[in-house]
């Protein structure tokens, strides 16, 4: 049912020749080829940028972990709350 037969290809070629004319078909094919090359180059560039960003993220995390200073021996108690929420509700 979905098989591409030789007469399908011939029909497509005839329709293209009728629509664009025999003189414009080589230019259209050339333009399509350029567009495909540009798209391929851009997607390849995006893939490389993604890989470099992943490597940069890992290096940045390693540097951040190395730059941390160890905690000192002094530990401060947390500050007392300003008002206990339960008391505040009961006061109203």
Predicted pLDDT at 28: 85
Please give the Cα distance from 49 to 44 (Å, whole number).
9
DSSP 13-63: HHHHHHHH-TTTHHHHHHHHHHHHHHHHHHHHHHHHHHHHHHHHHHHHHHH
Q: 30 vs 6, 16, 24, 71, CA distance in Å?
A: 24, 15, 10, 66
pLDDT at position 11 over 90:
yes
Q: What is the pLDDT of residues 28-82, one digit of tens each?
A: 889 999 999 999 999 998 888 877 766 666 666 666 665 565 556 666 677 776 6
Count of Cβ atoms closer than 10 Å to residue 78 Cβ:
5
Predicted pLDDT at 35: 95
Kindly report the pTM of this predicted structure.
0.41
pLDDT at position 92 over 60:
no
């Amino acid at each position: 049912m979905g098989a591409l037969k030789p007469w399908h290809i011939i029909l497509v070629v005839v329709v293209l020749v009728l629509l664009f004319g025999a003189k414009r078909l080589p230019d259209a094919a050339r333009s399509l080829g350029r567009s495909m090359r540009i798209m391929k180059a851009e997607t390849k560039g995006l893939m490389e940028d993604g890989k470099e960003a992943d490597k940069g993220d890992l290096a940045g995390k390693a540097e951040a972990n190395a730059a941390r200073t160890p905690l000192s021996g002094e530990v401060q108690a947390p500050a007392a709350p300003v008002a206990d929420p339960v008391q505040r509700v009961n006061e109203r």
